[in-house]
Amino acid sequence: MGIFADTFDLIAGLPAIVGLILTAAAIFLTSDWRLSLTSLLLQYVLVGLTLTRFIQAELAVVKILVGVLIVSMLFLSARHVRDDDDAQETSTDDMQFLGMHVGWRAGPLGLPLRILTLIMVFVAAIHFFDDYRTLLPILDGGNAAVPADIAFVSMWLAAMGLMGLVISGDPVRVAPAVLTTLTAFELVYALLEPDLAVVGFVAALMLMAALALAYLITVRGLGERRTREASRAGVLPPAMSMAIASDEEGGQG
């Protein structure tokens, strides 16, 4: 039992923090929805593990379960509409690495540009970390209310999530990005706000947000499918094709 507890404590420390940094990076880099959602699931598990250092284990488990439900909803929607697309993409697209399109023209930003962005965000995160910590609350005794590792990883998750939002308008990419940003906040807020009512409403909001995003993924996918069928039949409605094209190009305003 003692060995199990020690191992658990060990994983909840540095490995979980490193894991969170990597999952956020994976969500940002990949254009494969399966890899993106798997990373999101892992992210929720790691957040739960990390939070066991600060809050009751039961609450952390609830957060993990909420994450599992969120990813399930998104997965079902994405699978429903994306299987056809994937079949088409594999026949026409350029080289891939671990589901990530390596070509310069893959998605709104190809992998090389995404890696460049990632490096720039990492450098910026290190540069502005001290400034960011001054924005976080300080307890009456003068100690920081949020430990340095949690502060850094929350900043990283938020930055990755926001960058993901900026460069993509596709709901399949937007959903993990916005949920990563919210997770960043949850990581810090769970340390500050012990009120169970707030914790419950935050969980409800996360679930409802995932439901709404899953709905948008489905609608968008069905729209694309209809456009494809119409273009095959030679009766493409111009307004629809333009709207879908602009959805893909534009990030979040």
Partner 1 sequence: MNPLPGPILLLVMPLLAAGVTYFVRRIALLAAFIASATAGLAAFLCLRLPLDRSAFVLGQEVAFGRPVVILGQTLQLHAAGQLWLAFIFALAVLFYLLAWRVSQGRSFFPFSLAIIALYVLVILLESFSLQVLVYAISVTLAVFIVQGGQLASVRGAQRYLVVSLLAVPLLLAAAWLVDPAGSSLQDADALRRVLLPAALGFGLLLGAFPFGTWMPALAADTLPIVTAFVFTAGQAMALYLTLIFLQDNSFIMSNGITQDVIQLAGLVMAVAGGVMAAVQRGFGRLFGYAAMSDMGVLLLALAAAGSQSLTLVLLHLVSRGVIITLVAAALAILRHRATTDSFDELEGVARRLPLVTTGLALGTLALAGFPLTAGFPIRWAVYRAVSGEQELWFLLLLASSAGIVIGLLRGLNAMLGTRLRDDVARQPRLASFLVVALAILVIVLGLVPQLFLEPVSRAAQALALF
Q: What residues make contact with partner 1 under the rule CB under 8 A? A: 134-135, 137-140, 145, 165, 169, 171, 174, 178, 181-182, 184-185, 189, 192-193, 195, 197-198, 201-202, 204-205, 208-209, 211-213, 215-216, 219-220, 222-223, 226, 239-240, 243-244, 246-247, 250, 252-253
Cβ neighbour number for residue 83 with a 10 Å cutoff: 11
CB of 210 to partner 1, least distance (A): 9
CB of 192 to partner 1, least distance (A): 6
Rounded Cα distance between 169 and 175, Å, is: 10
CB of 61 to partner 1, least distance (A): 21
User: In a 10 Å sphere around its CB, with 0-12 CB exposed, 13-18 middle and 19+ buried, how is residue 5 labelled?
Assistant: exposed
Q: Which is nearer to partner 1, 87 or 197 (CB)?
A: 197
Residues 6+ apart with CB under 8 A from 100: 29, 30, 31, 32, 35, 106, 111
Q: Which is nearer to partner 1, 90 or 134 (CB)?
A: 134
The amino acid at 197: A
Q: Which is nearer to partner 1, 102 or 216 (CB)?
A: 216
CB of 217 to partner 1, least distance (A): 9
Question: Is the separation of the CB atoms in 147 and 58 below 8 Å?
Answer: no
Q: What's the gap between Cα 126 and its chain centre?
A: 21
CB of 205 to partner 1, least distance (A): 5
Q: Which is nearer to partner 1, 30 or 181 (CB)?
A: 181
Q: Which is nearer to partner 1, 117 or 180 (CB)?
A: 180
Residue whose token pair is 């299987």: 83
The DSSP H or E segment spanning 97 is strand 96-97
